[in-house]
């Protein structure tokens, strides 16, 4: 299967929406995503246009998508939080932080390297913004995602925290050139 990864483009809100609806319909969604199908389906087109626009340019974040010749098959988004912003646990950040969210690969294309390419694109973008690490949170029971993250160079930090989906484990990947 041939696929490529690129940053989303402004104007692709409808495709961003369609991929997100597929993601939140996944059997693993309840331990993977902080929003539900009902929440996502209720949003108006302007929300998705804004999500595409903010994912496409600027330094606050970047959304990457994987695509074959005829379909989008996965995504990963980097969100940058600045010193003083609230983190995922409601605490104020003491340093700038880059984290990956919205990780999804279509079931028909799993185990084919798509996740590695998405994470590499996200890491590359983050490194170019001067960060030494990129982090993420993964549900303690989401063994498949943890396996993919470990293979891609993420290690558990030892920190665990609770969100609306339950207990999550923090993982981080070094972006320093070895």
Ligand X SMILES: CC(C)(COP(=O)(O)OP(=O)(O)OC[C@H]1O[C@@H](n2cnc3c(N)ncnc32)[C@H](O)[C@@H]1OP(=O)(O)O)[C@@H](O)C(=O)NCCC(=O)NCCS
Binding stretches for ligand X (CB under 6 A): 26, 28, 32, 103-105, 110-111, 114-115, 138, 142-145, 147-148, 151
CA separation, residue 141 to residues 43, 103, 106, 127, 150 (Å): 29, 16, 20, 29, 15
Cβ closer to ligand X: 83 or 167? 167
CB of 45 to ligand X, least distance (A): 25
Structure letter (DSSP) for residue 92 = B
CA dist 176 and 130 (Å) reads: 10
CB of 171 to ligand X, least distance (A): 9
For ligand X, which residue has the nearest CB? 147
Cβ closer to ligand X: 43 or 110? 110
Structure letter (DSSP) for residue 2 = -
CB of 31 to ligand X, least distance (A): 7
CB of 149 to ligand X, least distance (A): 8
The alpha carbons of the chain give a radius of gyration, in whole angstroms, of 15
CB of 173 to ligand X, least distance (A): 13
DSSP per residue over 96-152, as a string?
-EEEEEEEEE-GGGTTSSHHHHHHHHHHHHHHHTT-SEEEEEEETT-HHHHHHHHHT
Cβ closer to ligand X: 52 or 115? 115
Cβ closer to ligand X: 36 or 49? 36
Cβ closer to ligand X: 8 or 170? 170
Range list of β-strands (E), 29-91: 61-67, 72-81
């Amino acid at each position: 299967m041939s696929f490529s990864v690129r940053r989303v483009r402004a104007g692709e809100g409808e495709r961003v929406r369609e991929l997100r609806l597929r993601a939140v319909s996944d059997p693993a969604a309840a331990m993977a995503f902080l929003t539900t199908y009902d929440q996502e389906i209720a949003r108006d087109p302007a929300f998705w246009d804004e999500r595409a626009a903010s994912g496409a340019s600027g330094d606050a974040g970047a959304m990457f998508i994987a695509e074959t010749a005829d379909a989008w098959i996965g995504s990963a988004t980097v969100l940058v939080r600045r010193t003083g912003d609230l983190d995922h646990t409601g605490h104020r950040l003491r340093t700038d932080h880059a984290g990956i969210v919205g990780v999804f690969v279509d079931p028909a294309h799993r185990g084919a390297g798509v996740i590695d390419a998405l994470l590499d694109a996200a890491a590359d973008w983050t490194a170019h913004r001067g960060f030494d690490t990129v982090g993420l949170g993964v549900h303690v029971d989401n063994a498949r995602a943890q396996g993919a993250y470990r293979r891609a160079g993420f290690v558990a930090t030892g920190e665990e925290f609770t969100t609306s989906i339950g207990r999550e484990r923090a993982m981080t990947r070094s972006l320093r050139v070895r």
